[in-house]
């Protein structure tokens, strides 16, 4: 934050500081808001005839060829669109009130071309996420326009799904989109059978494959919040309230765990406090299910059945110190998609949804790593100009938010790029 200091002396008529006795200085703070400022840079290129040649100065590089918009301008649009969930139409109005007019098509074009620049990062991001030994996964629905209206020129809306994988240790998130599909093959193509680690999910049936022999080295964790919600919906029922109380005890013990515990101490704590509660939960669920009054198709019967089916994956919470009780980490990230869905209503095409998924991945990964998204996108745009499909994967890995460090990253990447030029 910029700080400006002002000295304020008594305004009494005839007052002369040198004739008075100084007592003290009292600081009073006022905050000022300065609206966004746009600067128009006019570069005068001077041409010379010199030793038989015509020479002229070089323009500063821009991320997009022959574009009048530099990296800071595009980064500002990306930050407003993908972190603060402003539709492009609202961004245009905001810019207009701040003194700059830009058309909707131009703004969309900048986002589209930027996504092309970032495209080579997607594979690096996916590989990095899948190397993490503890993932959270979920899907969120969206609306896409596609051909299929009453005429050949009309578009019809279609409900689609954007998948998300969050790497707990790396604090990276990868939103991926496969033509809007929610089919199991999207999951199995993303998570290969040789994956080693834990994946926390909700109870969607397709995730159950992670518990089979097809994934011999994977552990699936379930979500206590999903189970709890089913009982909260029928909390007027006495048995449902008892299940809620048991689940709440698990959370209470989690919060009571002393800060700074080592992994070994956490495991010992979970075994002592969580294991008995998990056993109590299973006994109570089985007891409710055994009651003649619990009809299988009743709300209580369905909630109990769901919890029992998920129980093995729920109890995996105690297998490692870092495992969490729920999948809230990924659900919090998915709120960015939900806000976009609410504010922007739809994506204009499947390609648009795919582009949005990639930029959301980078933006949300910045948030998870406490990185200023504007600074990140600004620097990334300047670096991305040099990227191509054959760029060394080590270069791409260094560009992801968990590796990015302002200023210090610039020198490292300069060396990478120079090495690439030398090899070519």
Give the model's pLDDT for residue 388: 73
CA distance 375 to 397: 18
Give the model's pLDDT for residue 153: 66
- Evaluate whether 160 touches 144 at the Cβ level (below 8 Å): yes
* Neighbour tally for 417: CB within 10 Å: 16
| SS3 (DSSP) at 283 | helix
Give the model's pLDDT for residue 420: 40
Give the model's pLDDT for residue 219: 97
- pLDDT tens-place string over residues 53-78: 999 988 888 888 888 999 999 999 99
Place of tokens 């070089």: 58
Cα 220 → chain centroid: 22
Show the tokens assigned to 186.
Answer: 């999207």
Give the model's pLDDT for residue 406: 62
Cα 104 → chain centroid: 25
| SS3 (DSSP) at 135 | strand
- Please identify every stretch of the chain with a pLDDT value under 70, giving residue numbers as ranges: 148-153, 406-424
Give the model's pLDDT for residue 151: 56
């Amino acid at each position: 934050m910029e700080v400006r200091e002002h000295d304020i002396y008594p305004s009494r008529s005839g007052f002369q500081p040198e004739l008075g006795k100084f007592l003290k200085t009292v600081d009073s703070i006022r905050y000022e808001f300065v609206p966004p400022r746009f600067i128009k840079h006019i570069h005068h290129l001077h041409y010379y005839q010199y030793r038989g040649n015509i020479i002229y100065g070089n323009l500063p590089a821009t991320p997009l060829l022959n574009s009048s918009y530099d990296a800071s301008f595009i980064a500002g649009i990306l930050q407003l669109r993908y972190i603060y969930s402003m539709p492009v139409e609202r961004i245009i109005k905001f810019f207009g009130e701040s003194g700059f007019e830009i058309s909707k098509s131009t703004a969309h074009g900048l986002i589209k071309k930027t996504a092309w620049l970032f495209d080579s990062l997607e594979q690096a991001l996916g590989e990095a996420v899948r190397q993490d030994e503890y993932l959270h996964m979920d899907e969120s629905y969206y609306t896409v326009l596609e051909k299929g209206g009453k005429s050949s020129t009309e578009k019809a809306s279609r409900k689609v799904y954007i998948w998300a994988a969050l790497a707990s240790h790396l604090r990276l998130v990868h939103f991926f989109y496969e033509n809007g599909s929610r089919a199991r093959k999207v999951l199995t193509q993303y998570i290969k059978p040789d994956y080693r680690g834990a994946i926390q999910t909700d109870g969607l049936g397709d995730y159950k494959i992670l518990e089979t022999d097809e994934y011999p080295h994977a552990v699936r964790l379930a979500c206590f919040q999903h189970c709890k919600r089913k009982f909260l919906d029928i909390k007027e029922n006495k048995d449902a309230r008892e299940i809620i109380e048991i689940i709440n005890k698990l959370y209470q013990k989690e919060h009571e765990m002393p800060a700074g515990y080592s992994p070994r101490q956490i495991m010992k704590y979970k075994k002592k406090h969580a294991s008995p509660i998990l056993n109590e939960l299973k006994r109570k669920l089985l007891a409710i299910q055994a009651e003649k009054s619990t009809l299988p198709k009743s709300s209580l019967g369905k909630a109990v059945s769901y919890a029992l089916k998920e129980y093995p994956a729920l109890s995996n919470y105690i297998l490692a110190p870092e495992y969490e009780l729920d999948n809230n980490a990924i659900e919090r990230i998915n709120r960015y998609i939900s806000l976009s869905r609410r504010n922007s209503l739809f994506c204009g095409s499947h390609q648009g949804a795919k582009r949005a998924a990639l930029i959301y991945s980078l933006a949300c990964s910045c948030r998870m790593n406490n990185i200023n998204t504007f600074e990140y996108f600004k620097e990334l745009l300047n670096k991305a100009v040099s990227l191509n499909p054959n760029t060394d994967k080590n270069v791409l890995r260094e560009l992801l938010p968990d590796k990015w460090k302002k200023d210090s990253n610039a020198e490292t990447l300069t060396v990478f790029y120079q090495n690439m030029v030398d090899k070519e």
